[in-house]
Structure 1
Amino acid sequence: MKLLRSLLATSVACVAFTGAAAHAEDVNFGIISTDSSAVLKQRWQPFIDDMNRQTGLTVKAFFATDYAGIIEGMRFNKVQIGYFGNASAMEAVDRSNGEVFAKILYANGDAGYKSVLITNVNSRFKTLDDVFRDTKDVTLGYGDPNSTSGTLFPGYYLFAQRNVPVNSTSFKTVLPSSHEANLLAVVNNKVDIATNNTEMLDTLKKQHPDRFAQVRVLWTSPLIPSDPLVWRKDLPEATKEKLRNFFYHYAKTDPHEKAVMANITGYGGFAPSTDAQLIPIRQIALFQQKQKIESDTKLSADDRKSQLAAIDAKLGALPAAPKE
């Protein structure tokens, strides 16, 4: 009887190990919701198909209605690898056991992209001065809370520099949405102004030049580092190696692969990267926190001093940002 129990235990252990090994070959690839799921699937599915074929992994695309859905998906291991913006990648690294391992390359050789503030070409807003003359009479289409170009960069470089917090007190209405929805809202005169990025504008210009002609750019940000790819740190090393080989070599010479990447908003491939590319994003996020604390009239002097000191310590602890 003891021998039988021992054999059964060994058998169960072998089955469990085999199941775990098989599961390690299943990878959900999360893609942040810059557009509708239907549009994203059309752009990314050929790439996912190539990944399946070349790596031998079982890769499935994972879409959510907002950026947080992908971040949380990775946190609970429903997503093992993801395409993020820099701000959402920072959240995935901090909260979801994530690690940056690659970044996007652009077919035109650009090192990144830029945030923009846009309006309809026929709107009453011709310059930024028109916008900030009375923001309480302005309807703003804003980005996802975890969007780099839709929220973080304009929040810091545009609105914070003019001491205008993005909320319902400063603006008539603030409507957070995806880049695609905000762009269409501007084209169709549903909002006064909206944040967006140069990637979306380039795509609109190529695919719908008539709609692009309806857009006026009021402001353009400094360069945002190209979007990172993040995987969970606890992926098996063998799986990571397969992914490295795929991403680092994809679309270097093959015409089909180049066409697939070009269809994903003008991309040209990938390059190795690390968490270090997020350092400038961390600096901006900490500066924004600092500004909020400094303007919070509900805080006591001691609490304000303590919280500001904590942020200064975090800023001081950050290494220098990597040079391109």
Structure 2
Amino acid sequence: MLAVTAAAFSIALPAQAQQAGEINFGIISTESSNNLKTAWQPLLDDMQKAIGLKVNAFFAPDYAGVIEAMRFNKVQIAWYGNKSAMEAVDRAQGEVFAKVVNKDGSQGYWSLMLVHKDSPLKSLDDVLAKRKELTLSMGDPNSTSGTLVPCFYAFAANKVDPTREFKRMARSNHESNIMAVANRQVDAATVASDVVDRMKVKVPEKAAELREVWRSPLIASDPLVWRQDLDAGIKRKVRDFLLGYGKDEREKGVLNALTWSAFVASDNSQLVPIRQLELAKDRAKVEADTALSADEKAKKLADIDQRLAALGKQIAKAD
């Protein structure tokens, strides 16, 4: 449940910013706000010139803060991961309109589990076998690669509850988790592969201390989301700016600092696999709930299966 209230944003940002010649651009907390601001500000400055409106960067201490800011129209456009984008679509009148393209031209990334390079842990099986002796740090609860994907593919698939079965489980942003592993403060951590790529550039000596022991299936690249009620003219200008960005060397350099090469059009359909993971997680919880009667359990499972089937049809239709 998103805990941040409207009052939390009433001081920081004006309501209905786009009506006053401004828009607020939310940036999820994958790293420290200082690092994110350094990477993002050149792009936002270029956007401001292109669309003729002041563009304010908005940061929050967690993903929920950006989602709630969009919900209360304190943020009109935001960069999310897929899980947080799903929450914004469902709770904050959000709509996916674009996604990033990586430097190598790919349109996806991975969830990774990292350990220190000198750790005796060599694989996911090693981590799971010794979990009661280990400290694990995961991502924000609304993080796709830090929480949702590893919880399903690494833990639920092996019938492990990471919140209960490790010696200690912590949560932090991707950058902090990477540093915690490099500095031997935790035994293992789940992070996004693109943040690891950025850390290899920013702090190569720390990145050299890491070793990957698990990699997820490919995750669709990060979406950009705007509020559905954003002015149509502003939407058009923002879309045209982003989809045309990265053509000259200076713009390529701006995107390179973000580990991207371009933006391409997208829509809410890219969130369907994430919805499937969420429902699969819910299904596993229902199956394991001994407090439910047989009838209650059957009813809940049937409802989840019906929704999973509907999502499967969406994918089949898109293919």
Pair 1:183-2:175 in alignment: no
Q: Alignment partner of 1:298: what SS?
A: coil
Q: Which residue of 1 aligns with 2:153?
A: 157
Q: Which residue of 205, 216, 221 corresponds with 2:200?
A: 205
2:223 is matched by which residue type in structure 1? P
* TM-aligned CA distance change 1:187 to 1:106, over 3 Å: same
Q: Which residue of 2 aligns with 1:86?
A: 82
| Residues 149 and 216, structure 2, Cα contact 8 Å, conserved in 1 | yes
Q: CA deviation at 1:20?
A: 7.8
1:273 is matched by which residue type in structure 2? S
Q: CA deviation at 1:191?
A: 0.4
Q: Aligned equivalents of 2:69 and 2:29: distance in 1?
A: 13
Q: Aligned equivalents of 2:316 and 2:207: distance in 1?
A: 35
TM-score (ref. length: structure 1) = 0.90
Q: Aligned equivalents of 1:292 and 1:20: distance in 2?
A: 40
* TM-aligned CA distance change 1:294 to 1:208, over 3 Å: same
| Residues 17 and 23, structure 2, Cα contact 8 Å, conserved in 1 | no
Aligned-residue Cα RMSD (Å) equals 1.7
| Residues 139 and 147, structure 2, Cα contact 8 Å, conserved in 1 | yes
* TM-aligned CA distance change 1:205 to 1:321, over 3 Å: farther
Structure 2, unaligned runs of 5 or more: 1-14
| Residues 24 and 235, structure 1, Cα contact 8 Å, conserved in 2 | no
Q: Alignment partner of 2:214: what SS?
A: strand
Percent identical:
50
Q: Which residue of 92, 100, 108 corresponds with 1:112?
A: 108
Q: CA deviation at 1:70?
A: 0.4
Q: Which residue of 2 aligns with 1:304?
A: 297
The 5 Å alignment of 1:1-324 reads 23=19, 25-167=21-163, 169-251=164-246, 253-264=247-258, 266-318=259-311, 319-320=314-315
| Residues 124 and 154, structure 2, Cα contact 8 Å, conserved in 1 | no
Structure 1, unaligned runs of 5 or more: 1-18
| Residues 17 and 24, structure 2, Cα contact 8 Å, conserved in 1 | no
* TM-aligned CA distance change 1:141 to 1:20, over 3 Å: closer
Cα deviation digits, residues 135-168 of structure 1 (max 9, x gap): 121111011001011011101111011000121x
Q: Aligned equivalents of 1:69 and 1:214: distance in 2?
A: 32
Q: Alignment partner of 2:229: what SS?
A: coil
Q: CA deviation at 1:124?
A: 2.7
Deviates more, 1:199-208 or 1:170-179: 199-208
| Residues 30 and 82, structure 1, Cα contact 8 Å, conserved in 2 | yes
Q: Alignment partner of 2:160: what SS?
A: coil
Larger Rg: 1
Deviates more, 1:107-116 or 1:222-231: 107-116
Cα deviation digits, residues 86-113 of structure 1 (max 9, x gap): 0000000000000000000112111211
Q: CA deviation at 1:127?
A: 2.2
* TM-aligned CA distance change 1:289 to 1:22, over 3 Å: closer
Q: CA deviation at 1:261?
A: 0.6
Q: CA deviation at 1:288?
A: 0.7
2:73 is matched by which residue type in structure 1? N
Q: Which residue of 2 aligns with 1:16?
A: none
Q: Which residue of 1 aligns with 2:8?
A: none
| Residues 86 and 271, structure 2, Cα contact 8 Å, conserved in 1 | yes
Q: Alignment partner of 1:241: what SS?
A: helix
Q: Which residue of 1 aligns with 2:12?
A: none
Q: Alignment partner of 2:250: what SS?
A: helix
* TM-aligned CA distance change 1:307 to 1:130, over 3 Å: same
| Residues 117 and 193, structure 1, Cα contact 8 Å, conserved in 2 | yes
| Residues 279 and 321, structure 1, Cα contact 8 Å, conserved in 2 | no
Q: Alignment partner of 2:162: what SS?
A: coil
Q: CA deviation at 1:207?
A: 2.8
User: What is the aligned residue count?
Assistant: 303
Q: Aligned equivalents of 1:200 and 1:147: distance in 2?
A: 13
| Residues 17 and 74, structure 2, Cα contact 8 Å, conserved in 1 | no
Q: CA deviation at 1:316?
A: 1.8
* TM-aligned CA distance change 1:233 to 1:186, over 3 Å: same
| Residues 23 and 53, structure 2, Cα contact 8 Å, conserved in 1 | yes
